[in-house]
């Protein structure tokens, strides 16, 4: 099999999604209402096809073993996870996108004008962004990595702008786009420095070069600077300090289904990219040179990178949680909470090795499920025909919509990490990984930060249940479509049920990062032997 | 399997309550709690280790483990020893009483109330039967949610503040407890190569850690458990929560939830970190003694009856902590006995107060009193339970308080028994003043409430729903509790005997510790200590 064809086989799911993007873009322009209504379901259909294709591709295909990837099996886990959660995210948008215009057309107040509908575009961009995120899993060099990250984020800029109209929305769209562009420039510059330091674009090649350099005099300083710049740029994607400022405004200004989308998808992209770059550096075998000029081996990532990530993680956890304490708007609150979740996941990245990154990939699932559930509630309800805004709007929700109040409480408690809900297992995994890597102070800070978060999650979970409904809440009614609520309930039940399958899920996460060089037994200090000449990873699991 | 069923019965009842309609909720809940009680009684009869010489838990772990994350050694494992079974019995006996006690008090959102009540008791029983750290922690934390909602929906005027304080206090503390336990598990994995979260594995392993590490672990665990106990500076959530909660909530909080903290101390801290415990026992004991005296003094000036009893819990739990930290079998037996007797006595008192409140809508000592003639049956139960709480000989409080104090008093280094007592007579003496203060404020309250001229609130009018004195339903709720107080007081031996092997097992690492300390002492000190003890022995 040629290299080209093996690569093409590997990205079959993404190709399917591209085709899907074109199809739904065209379908969305149809003058038949039925066809337009079929757009979200076509999108879901293509996502299912991509999930199936992923399973077929990774089921013992040679393409996987031939591609020169850092994490050969990561694609299976990541693409399936992204696909499943994306189905939920598509459901959130049903009935929300183009709502007013469709109503006007239905009532005959206006004729149908293909230029004024955005349904097709919305779903096409959504599919493109998902395809970009999936492509990151297959990145084997920096160019691919950069293009995939851009493909995953460019469509989201448009999606944020689709809620045209309000001033807040315009502000969000502009902020998101310009800051996003700046962050891309930052990490692209970092990539350039990395190329300069290693002389290669290939990630596996880079890993070898860096391992050799680390065993020798150490990685050159501008290589480390490149890495730090790349991380800082990627912090935008994962809403980590110092690139988190946009999050509250953008989350609040974007249409609610889009908020749900951008609080999950760019995070997956960002964390996958960060983990790949960290893997290229390697979590072991580094040293510092002390004052006497003696090499002192250090644990984990190279010291400067480690320190940068450490500071970023701590600030992200603290600022995210403290910021959330002050919010009354639910979407702003969720923005800050998503910032703090990134901080927790960075603990896993810093801890590194197999345990740490498994924990991150597992946590992404727990976070994604809770996100879809909570946004399912927000998209499924409306107040006098508008979006639900503040916590007070929801007080007394139990009376009229007990199911929604229940799902909201479940997802808030899951994000808080209350056992036995899904979020707890994710957090537990991170804690264990952190302690195992000797990062106890970081884990203590993480615990303190989660402790702070109990305050606002408790409000989110509690107020809808404990308060009596008042005049303000009387206006709460169900949204135009039942599907966002269905998504909320299904993923809410997932929060309860998935822990029973946590074992399988965790095993899949472990299998996804399994490869020859990250086996703890081999990583010790023998850098040269860490990466055999011809890596033959284990056959992927079905 | 038997224990899983025990946990499932209340949960299944919840479904029944949910679908059974608003009117039938309480009846279904009562039925469910009686079935749970019956099943627990069956388990208690099957339990083979009541008279064992050696500590053992039942059923054998391999029958009950449910692997969750085998890679990390996380498996849900259930089992009971005599202490946890006794605490489960405490919970299931109080459950129907709670339902009966809220029969007419809860008027709105009934279904939810009974669901929260049943979930709460499931979680509490889960803590007692858990044999691995993760299920312990899961149930420990999960119990916050029903507690929070019960308090926040059905509580008094300050319910919002009380419920948030209750949740956040405990949640914050227990995060650090999880951290401490995860650290022990990691060290265990480092040194044995296997991940395990089973309590038995960790308690066997943890004492081998260095003294410094043990100190940190003790601190982390105490952060979670001291809040629940509650120990002196961390007790502030308790009076608020107990005072604001609905009757059934107060009963549950006082009788069972407080025991979770003490149970955690006894399950984790004593066996896991013996060196640190010996070092820090005096500090903890000082906090306990401060709590005893300080809370007792506060009780003295309370005019709100419910608040008075809430503070008395703080004072009483101090005795239980002292007995636990005395580090000898006598004190430990006393402490376990205290958990049971405090559960019944204080739980019963809260029920009584609830019944009075339903009739007079006030808990203020200045507004209501002299009820002995108007409500003789109520006064009878109230006085019995107060005496049980005070520690009148012949009732359960006496046995437990006496054992705890004796344990503290004799907690001096003793080469003969091998237990490293670090407290001694002074602690016992100061704590004993708490006993006297306890008698004073409780009897003062009883005097005001039951005797003297009848005082009723100005706007009081007889309720149509409730008779003047207790109804049969209310008597049915209080009678078993009063009876148990009496039985425990007259015949404590079966329970003390059942607890004895457990106490010895928990204190197993301590004699070895004393020996190693003993070896480090210089010769003269050793000789003087030895001669002292032999002299005492010969006397």
Share of chain B above pLDDT 70, in %: 92
Give the residue extent of every domain in chain A. 3-530
Q: Is the pLDDT of residue B536 over 50?
A: no
- Token code pair at residue B445: 């309250």
Q: Which residues in chain B have their CB less than 8 angstroms from residue A444's CB?
A: 176, 179
Is residue B68 in a domain? Answer: no
The residue whose two tokens read 């996380």 is: B74
Read off φ and ψ for residue B75, nearest 5 degrees: -140, 145
Q: ipTM value, please give it.
A: 0.87
A213 touches chain B (CB under 8 A): no
> pLDDT: is B345 or A164 the higher one?
B345
Q: Give the separation between CA B123 and CA B10, rounded to whole angstroms.
A: 10
Whether a cis peptide bond, with omega within 30° of 0, leads into A420 is yes
Looking at beta carbons, which residues of chain B come within 8 Å of A503?
Answer: 67-70
| Structure tokens that stand for A395 in this block | 């007080």
- 8 Å CB contact of A458 and B175: no
Closest CA to B332 of B130, B500, B90: B500
Query: At B79, is the pLDDT very low, low, confident or very high (cuts 50, 70, 90)?
Result: confident
The answer to whether the Cβ–Cβ distance between A419 and B142 falls below 8 Å is: yes
Q: Which one, of B41, B33, B40, B38, lies nearest residue B118 by Cα?
A: B33
Dist. CA A148–CA A292, nearest whole Å: 45
Which of B171, B178, B183 is the closest to A454 by Cβ? B171
CA distance A150 to chain B (A): 36
Strand partners for B413: B420
Residue A442 touches partner B, C-beta closer than 8 Å: no
Report if residue B303 sits inside a domain: yes
Which chain A residue lies closest to B174 (C-alpha atoms)? A451
| Boundaries of domain holding B421 | 282-458+468-509
The span from the CA of B105 to the CA of B124, in Å, is 23
Nearest to B272 by CA among B340, B220, B312, B341: B220
The C-alpha atoms of residue B307 and residue B240 are separated, in whole angstroms, by 8
User: Does the N-terminal peptide bond of residue B59 adopt cis geometry, omega within 30 degrees of 0?
Assistant: yes
Q: Check CB contact of B163 with chain A, cutoff 8 Å.
A: yes
Residue B120 is assigned to a structural domain of this protein = no
pLDDT tens track for A19-44: 999 999 998 888 888 888 888 899 99
Residue B200 touches chain A, beta carbons under 8 Å:
no
* Interface contact B178, partner A, CB < 8 A: yes
Who's near A171: CB < 8 A, 6+ residues apart? A249, A253
In a domain, B71, yes or no: no
Asked if A269 and A78 touch (Cβ cutoff 8 Å), the reply is no
Interface check B185 vs A, CB under 8 A: yes
User: How high is the pLDDT of residue A352?
Assistant: 81
CA B250 to chain A, closest CA, distance in angstroms equals: 18
Query: Which DSSP state fits A59?
Result: T
CA distance A342 to chain B (A): 19
Residue B416: CB atoms within 10 A of its CB come to 10
Integer Cα distance of A340 and A450 in angstroms: 9
The helix, strand and coil proportions of chain B, stated in percent and rounded to the nearest 5, come to: 75, 5, 20
- Is the CB of residue B187 less than 8 Å away from at least one CB of chain A? no
8 Å CB contact of A435 and B141 = no
Q: Which residues pair with B420 in a beta bridge?
A: B413
**Whole-angstrom Cα distance, residue B200 to residue A233?**
48
Mean pLDDT of B342-349: 92
A6 CB within 8 Å of a chain B CB: no
From B34's Cα to the closest Cα of chain A, the distance in A is 27
Q: A447, B179: Cβ pair inside 8 Å?
A: yes
A225 touches chain B (CB under 8 A): no
Residues of chain A with pLDDT under 70: 1-2, 60-67, 164, 515-542
Instruction: Tell me if B310 is assigned to some domain.
Output: yes
Q: How many domains does chain B have?
A: 1
By the 8 A CB rule, do A31 and A112 touch?
yes
Closest Cα of chain A to B516: distance in Å? 31
- pTM of the predicted structure, to 2 decimals: 0.89
Helices (H), B78-232: 82-101, 110-129, 133-142, 144-154, 159-192, 199-205, 211-228
**B50/A contact by beta carbon, under 8 A:** no
Chain B interface disruption, residue of A299, A359, A420, most B CBs within 10 A: A420
Whether B75 has a pLDDT exceeding 90, the answer reads: no
| CA A418/CA A244 separation, integer angstroms | 26
B292 occurs within a structural domain = yes
Q: Does B276 touch chain A (CB under 8 A)?
A: no
- Which of B138, B164, B186 comes nearest A436 by C-beta? B186
pLDDT band at B70 (very low <50, low <70, confident <90, very high): low
Q: What pLDDT, on a 0 to 100 scale, did the predictor assign at position B194? A: 79
Q: Does B66 touch chain A (CB under 8 A)?
A: no
- What is the pLDDT at residue B61? 62
Per-residue pLDDT tens over the stretch A89-148: 999 988 777 777 777 877 878 777 777 778 888 899 999 999 999 999 888 889 999 999
Record: contact A506-B149, CB cut-off 8 A? no
Measured between CA atoms, how close is A321 to chain B, in angstroms? 14
Q: Is B11 on the interface with A (CB under 8 A)?
A: no
Chain A residues within 8 A of B175 when measuring between CB atoms: 447-448, 450-451
Interface check B35 vs A, CB under 8 A = no
CB contact under 8 A, A431 and B178: yes
User: Which whole number is the average pLDDT over B112-139?
Assistant: 90
A466 touches chain B (CB under 8 A): yes
Q: Across-strand partners of B78? A: B130
Q: Does B219 touch chain A (CB under 8 A)?
A: no
**B164 and A428: CB-CB below 8 Å?**
no
Distance to chain A for B536, nearest Cα, Å: 49
- Tally of CB atoms within 10 A around A113: 10
Q: Supply the pLDDT for residue B496.
A: 87
Q: Does B167 touch chain A (CB under 8 A)?
A: yes
Both tokens of B101, joined, read 């006690």
When scoring A503, A505, A509, A511 by the number of chain B Cβ atoms within 10 A, the one with the most, hence best to mutate, is A503
């Amino acid at each position: 099999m040629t290299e080209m064809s093996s690569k093409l086989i590997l990205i079959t799911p993404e190709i399917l999604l591209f085709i899907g993007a074109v199809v739904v873009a065209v379908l969305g322009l149809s003058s038949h209402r039925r066809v337009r209504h079929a757009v979200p379901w076509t999108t879901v259909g293509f996502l299912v096809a991509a999930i199936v294709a992923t399973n077929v591709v990774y089921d013992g295909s040679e393409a996987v073993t031939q591609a020169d990837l850092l994490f050969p099996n990561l694609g299976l886990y990541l693409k399936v996870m992204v696909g499943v959660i994306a189905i939920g995210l598509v459901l959130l948008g049903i009935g929300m996108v183009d709502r007013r215009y469709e109503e006007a057309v239905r009532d005959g107040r206006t004729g149908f004008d293909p230029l004024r509908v955005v349904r097709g575009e919305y779903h096409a961009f959504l599919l493109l962004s998902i395809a970009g995120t999936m492509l990151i899993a297959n990145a084997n060099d920096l160019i691919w990595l950069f293009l995939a990250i851009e493909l995953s984020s460019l469509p989201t800029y448009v999606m944020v702008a689709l809620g045209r109209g309000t001033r807040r929305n315009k502000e969000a769209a502009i902020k998101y786009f310009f800051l996003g562009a700046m962050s891309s420039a930052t990490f692209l510059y970092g990539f350039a420095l990395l190329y300069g330091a290693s002389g290669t674009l290939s990630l596996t090649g880079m890993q070898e070069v860096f391992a050799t350099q680390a065993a020798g005099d150490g990685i050159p300083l501008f290589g480390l600077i490149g890495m730090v710049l790349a991380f800082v740029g990627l912090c935008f994607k994962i809403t980590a300090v110092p690139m988190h400022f946009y999050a509250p405004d953008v989350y609040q200004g974007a249409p609610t289904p889009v908020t749900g989308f951008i609080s999950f998808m760019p995070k997956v992209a960002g964390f996958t990219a960060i983990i790949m770059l960290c893997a290229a550096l390697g979590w072991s075998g580094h040293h510092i040179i002390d004052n006497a000029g003696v090499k002192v081996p250090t644990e984990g990532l190279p010291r400067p990178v480690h320190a940068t990530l450490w500071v970023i993680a701590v600030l992200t956890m603290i600022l995210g949680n403290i910021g959330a304490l002050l919010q009354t708007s639910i979407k702003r609150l969720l923005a800050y909470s998503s910032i703090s979740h990134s901080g927790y996941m960075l603990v896993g990245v810093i801890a590194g090795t197999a345990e740490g990154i498994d924990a991150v990939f597992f946590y992404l699932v727990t976070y994604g499920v809770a996100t879809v559930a909570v946004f399912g509630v927000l998209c499924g309800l409306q107040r006098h025909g508008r979006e639900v805004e503040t916590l007070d709007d929801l007080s007394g929700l139990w009376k009229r919509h007990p199911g929604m109040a229940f799902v909201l409480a479940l997802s808030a408690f899951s994000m808080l990490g209350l056992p036995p809900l899904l979020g707890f297992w994710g957090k537990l995994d991170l804690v264990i990984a952190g302690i195992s890597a000797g990062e106890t102070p970081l884990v203590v800070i993480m615990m303190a930060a989660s402790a702070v978060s109990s305050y606002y999650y408790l409000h989110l979970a509690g107020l809808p249940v404990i308060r009596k409904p008042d005049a303000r809440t009387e206006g709460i009614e169900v949204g135009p479509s039942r599907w966002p609520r269905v998504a909320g309930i299904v993923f809410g039940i997932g929060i309860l049920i998935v822990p029973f399958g946590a074992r399988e899920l965790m095993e899949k996460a472990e299998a996804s990062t399994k490869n020859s060089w990250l086996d703890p037994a081999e990583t010790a200090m023998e850098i040269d032997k860490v990466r055999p000449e011809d890596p033959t990873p284990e056959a992927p699991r079905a | 399997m038997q224990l899983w069923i025990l946990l499932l019965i209340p949960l299944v009842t919840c479904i029944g309550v949910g679908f059974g309609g608003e009117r039938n909720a309480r009846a279904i809940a009562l039925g469910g709690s009686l079935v749970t009680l019956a099943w627990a009684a069956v388990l208690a009869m099957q339990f083979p280790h009541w008279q064992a010489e050696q500590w053992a838990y039942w059923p054998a772990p391999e029958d009950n483990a449910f692997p969750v994350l085998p890679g990390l050694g996380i498996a849900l494992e259930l089992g009971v020893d005599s202490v946890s079974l006794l605490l489960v019995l405490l919970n299931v006996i109080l459950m129907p009483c709670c339902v009966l006690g809220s029969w007419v008090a809860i008027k709105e959102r009934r279904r939810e109330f009974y669901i929260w009540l049943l979930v709460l008791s499931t979680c509490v029983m889960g803590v007692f039967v858990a044999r691995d750290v993760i299920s312990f922690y899961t149930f420990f934390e999960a119990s916050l949610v029903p507690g929070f909602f019960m308090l926040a929906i059905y509580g008094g005027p300050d319910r919002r503040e009380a419920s948030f304080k209750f949740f956040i206090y405990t949640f914050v503390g227990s995060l650090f407890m999880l951290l401490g336990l995860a650290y022990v598990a990691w060290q265990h994995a480092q040194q044995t190569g296997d991940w395990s979260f089973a309590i038995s594995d960790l308690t066997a392993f943890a004492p081998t850690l260095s003294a410094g590490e043990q100190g940190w672990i003790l601190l982390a665990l105490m952060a979670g458990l001291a809040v629940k106990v509650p120990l002196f500076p961390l007790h502030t959530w308790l009076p608020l929560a107990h005072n604001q909660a609905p009757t059934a909530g107060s009963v549950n909080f006082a009788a069972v939830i407080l025991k979770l903290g003490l149970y955690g101390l006894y399950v984790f801290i004593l066996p896991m970190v013996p060196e640190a415990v010996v070092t820090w026992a005096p500090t903890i004991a000082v906090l306990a003694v401060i709590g005893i005296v300080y809370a007792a003094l506060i009780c003295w000036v309370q005019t709100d009856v419910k608040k008075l009893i809430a503070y008395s819990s703080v004072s009483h739990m101090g005795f239980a902590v002292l007995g636990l930290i005395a580090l000898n079998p006598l004190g430990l037996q006393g402490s376990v006995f205290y958990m049971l007797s405090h559960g019944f006595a204080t739980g019963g008192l809260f029920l009584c107060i609830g019944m009075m409140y339903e009739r007079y809508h006030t808990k203020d000592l200045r507004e209501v009193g002299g009820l002995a003639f108007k409500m003789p049956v109520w006064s009878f139960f109230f006085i019995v339970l107060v005496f049980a709480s005070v520690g009148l000989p012949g009732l359960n409080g006496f046995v437990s308080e006496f054992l705890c104090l004796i344990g503290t008093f004799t907690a001096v280094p003793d080469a003969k028994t091998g237990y490293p007592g670090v407290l001694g007579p002074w602690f016992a003496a100061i704590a004993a003043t708490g006993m006297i203060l306890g008698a004073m404020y409780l009897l003062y309250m009883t005097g005001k409430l039951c005797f003297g001229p009848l005082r009723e609130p100005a706007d009081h009018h007889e309720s149509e729903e409730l008779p003047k004195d207790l109804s049969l339903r209310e008597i049915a709720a209080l009678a078993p509790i009063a009876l148990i107080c009496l039985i425990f007081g007259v015949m404590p031996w079966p329970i003390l005997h059942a607890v004895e092997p457990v106490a010895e097992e928990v204190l197993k690492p301590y004699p070895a510790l004393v020996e190693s300390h003993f070896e480090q002492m210089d010769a003269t000190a050793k000789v003087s200590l030895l001669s002292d003890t032999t002299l005492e022995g010969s006397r």
